[in-house]
Structure 1
């Protein structure tokens, strides 16, 4: 869950809407199978364009949006429920040869955040309950323990807080029968505002599009709440912990410092090679160690190496033979 230390010192400039699809729910220690990030500026959310629609204008989806959508081989079986809901299977990832959550993902996330204008806030529906802790767990397993200057906010918490503050019930609607709990599920909220259910539910990109469309309906109120209540991503507690697979990485996407990925990638590749073959050879660019030289080549080279002392003895011996022959057969 999210802790509650300092909020941003100035208004958030970039809202990065996020959704994750995974192999299941806690406590199964789920693994991310699909990740989608849409970066939308504050200006775009404050100044939307509209299309005429009865009974009121409908905001158009922001035009200038940076997107990062990645399929990730979870290397873990999907639960039957998760597979039926998301439509994702381990067989599909294997057939399409998708990579796991690795250092390339860190590089992409770092590059994506570095292109955004700070302060930056990750936004997810039920983010504090699921998306943020799961992302933190995956990042920690690769050694990335911090995302400096990146904040996060949960739209469910924001909507409930706004409903409680102004008593307008502008987000959750009252279902039948009266007195039952209000619904804050993403597809229910979308239906409340657009009178149709969204397409591509439980698809990371589709859910992000749905979330942004709902967010646009009360964008100013939600952004104002997040300016005061967003929390640093570093304060999110990882959903679970496993042994770190690589050395810790102190560099963070919020800075311009590099990840030094080449050395870490080499370390990972060597570990993979060790598990696949009993004779892991170095990469082509690396100088081979002496014990990697083929034995036959080494023996052939050593066979033709004659020390200088032996050469001198052979020369003297040859000279004596020539002198002896000359004495035996004088001209």
Structure 2
């Protein structure tokens, strides 16, 4: 049986770009708090994996075939009261649960190993939250993931798909006047996204856990400004329409027309994410095949260094 978790230095496998993803493993984690409030010493309190075949996502129906792995962990550290309020998990409830140790890692390894390869992890805001924290937990057990395990951040996927696929199939609800404000396609949104981390750090001390998570998962909104409509030769222009929220709950409600499930319960969040992916279908699978990267290359959460850097 081929082992998918191994030291990252072994790079003798063919590029995943030559192979389509066969299995998606959607995941969500709940934690002791937010890393910047805990000096990047955050621990996982709940972790849920649900594996589905990629071709079942492609057909656009919530997959009947699912394989699940669900852990609750004793973090061996104090859980932020606000995190407990959000997740429903307290130190008292988790007192007799195992901590995230080598035995749990071995179970995770075997769970991934029984599924068809290539395997790709999927987490919402995974690049900036779930993956760096999970990688730190795995590192504490003395293990690392092999190159073959891929990953994508579904937050990035749905932002892209909204701009390039989904919005073309969704009628615009707001009427746009002929003299509506416009903005140039000059990359301003990209610049705004690059500086949002600094803005968040200035405000974070006054925000609750839920507010910060919502801010992390929401595309920064550019304030509308009154512009005079000026014709510029050779310059691409767009009608400015406010971009929707991409928090998992809002995304789920927008795509499925249903109220969100029990938010911040790991399995509920994973099921919502799977349903969103299945609602989009083949375009979601195509995006993942084009943008998947190795979990091995995700920067690990370490003290004194911003996550994702």
> Which category of TM-score, normalised to the shorter sequence, fits these structures?
0.5 to 0.7
Give a deviation string over 1:8-56, Cα, whole Å, max 9, x none: 32110000000000001122121000000000002222235xxxxxxxx
Is 2:30 the counterpart of 1:31? Answer: no
Q: Is the 8 A contact 1:8 1:119 kept in 2?
A: no
Give a deviation string over 1:76-128, Cα, whole Å, max 9, x none: 1111211110011001111xx10101111111111101101000000011011
Is 2:239 the counterpart of 1:230? Answer: no
- Go from structure 1 to structure 2 and tell me whether the alpha carbon gap of 1:205 and 1:87 turns closer, same or farther (over 3 Å shift): same
1:219 to 281, 296, 301: 281
Mind listing any 5+ residue stretches in structure 2 that lack a counterpart? 1-14, 175-220, 225-239, 305-309
Q: Is the 8 A contact 1:8 1:231 kept in 2?
A: no
Rg larger in structure: 1
Q: How far apart, in 1, do the equivalents of 2:133 and 2:153 lie?
A: 14
Is 2:155 the counterpart of 1:93? Answer: no
Q: Is the 8 A contact 2:58 2:285 kept in 1?
A: no
SS in structure 2 opposite 1:168?
Answer: helix
Give a deviation string over 1:204-241, Cα, whole Å, max 9, x none: 01100110011111121011011011000000011126
Is 2:262 the counterpart of 1:200? Answer: yes
Q: Is the 8 A contact 1:15 1:122 kept in 2?
A: yes
- Go from structure 1 to structure 2 and tell me whether the alpha carbon gap of 1:157 and 1:170 turns closer, same or farther (over 3 Å shift): farther
Q: How far apart, in 1, do the equivalents of 2:114 and 2:243 lie?
A: 41
Out of 39-48 and 220-229, give the one that drifted further.
39-48
Q: Is the 8 A contact 1:174 1:181 kept in 2?
A: no
SS in structure 1 opposite 2:110?
Answer: helix
Normalised by the size of structure 1, how large is the TM-score?
0.63
Deviation at 1:151, TM superposition (A): 0.2
Deviation at 1:160, TM superposition (A): 1.4
Deviation at 1:166, TM superposition (A): 4.5
Higher relative contact order (CA 8 A, sep 6+): 2
- Go from structure 1 to structure 2 and tell me whether the alpha carbon gap of 1:18 and 1:92 turns closer, same or farther (over 3 Å shift): same
Q: How far apart, in 2, do the equivalents of 1:169 and 1:197 lie?
A: 23
Out of 193-202 and 128-137, give the one that drifted further.
193-202
1:46 to 48, 53, 58: 58
Q: Is the 8 A contact 2:16 2:118 kept in 1?
A: no
Deviation at 1:174, TM superposition (A): 8.0
Alignment correspondent of 2:128:
129
Alignment correspondent of 1:21:
30
Q: How far apart, in 2, do the equivalents of 1:14 and 1:134 lie?
A: 22
Q: How far apart, in 1, do the equivalents of 2:269 and 2:147 lie?
A: 26
Superposed counterparts of 1:58-137, under 5 Å: 59=61, 61-94=62-95, 97-137=96-136
Give a deviation string over 1:233-255, Cα, whole Å, max 9, x none: 0000111269xxxxxxxxxxxxx
- Go from structure 1 to structure 2 and tell me whether the alpha carbon gap of 1:165 and 1:75 turns closer, same or farther (over 3 Å shift): same
- Go from structure 1 to structure 2 and tell me whether the alpha carbon gap of 1:153 and 1:34 turns closer, same or farther (over 3 Å shift): same
Q: Is the 8 A contact 1:7 1:228 kept in 2?
A: no
- The ranges of structure 1 where at least 4 consecutive aligned residues each deviate by more than 6 angstroms after the TM superposition are 173-178
Q: Is the 8 A contact 1:174 1:182 kept in 2?
A: no
Deviation at 1:159, TM superposition (A): 1.3
Query: Size of the alignment, in residue pairs?
Result: 223
Deviation at 1:167, TM superposition (A): 7.5
Q: How far apart, in 1, do the equivalents of 2:169 and 2:140 lie?
A: 40
SS in structure 2 opposite 1:198?
Answer: coil
Deviation at 1:143, TM superposition (A): 1.2
